[in-house]
Amino acid sequence: MNRYMPGSPADLPNLKQLKAESEKFKHKKRFRKVLKNTVFTLVTVSAAAVLIAALLLPVLRIYGTSMDPTLSEGDIVISVKSSSFETGEVVAFYYNNKILVKRVIAHSGDWVDINDKGIVFVNDQKLSEPYVSEFSLGDCDIELPYQVPESRLFVMGDHRDVSVDSRNTSVGCVAEEQIVGKIVFKVWPLSGFGKI
């Protein structure tokens, strides 16, 4: 009959060593769990941020000078999806595979007239435009006064001399389905950070 005969005490596992190895194993297991949860959280937050940015709050970069002085080339802005737009609000819309940014001047059925000095009248009322630094008739080839067609917006840039907008038949009035959203916030540069 073969019996187990314990050897010297030095052959037996040290209780402290067993405890240390057990703690090390628990620590590794906890670390893996925390790492897995962190990665999952980061992926989820990133996916949500991308969806929100793409669907609800598109982030846009401004190119060109047609919205000077309100928006300058290189500015980064946030737009909000909307279905109603007030006169004076800045909107982004699709035009020939590009996104243009202009200001709402008039709505469906409104009559727009612009005099030789570039002063805008909507339904025979002079439009108050504190955001325009220099008035100009600009690149206008429409017959004035002009009535805005149904389900369309008449838009103009703030830099009236260089902006190509609803005053020109190449752009015309903007259909509601073309609109990306209204520009509500400038996030870059930080010196201009704030509401538009």
Cite the active site residues: 66
- Which residues are registered as beta bridge partners of 181? 92
- DSSP letters of 145-164? SEEPPTTEEEEE-SSTTT--
**φ, ψ dihedrals at 20, nearest 5°:** -65, -40
What is the DSSP-derived secondary structure letter of residue 74? T
Token pair 């190895």 is at which residue? Answer: 21
Token pair 């009535």 is at which residue? Answer: 147
What six digits make up the tokens of 183?
Answer: 């520009």
Using CA atoms, how far residue 97 sits from 13, 60, 100, in Å, is 74, 14, 10
Q: Which secondary-structure segment (H or E) carries 186?
A: strand 179-188
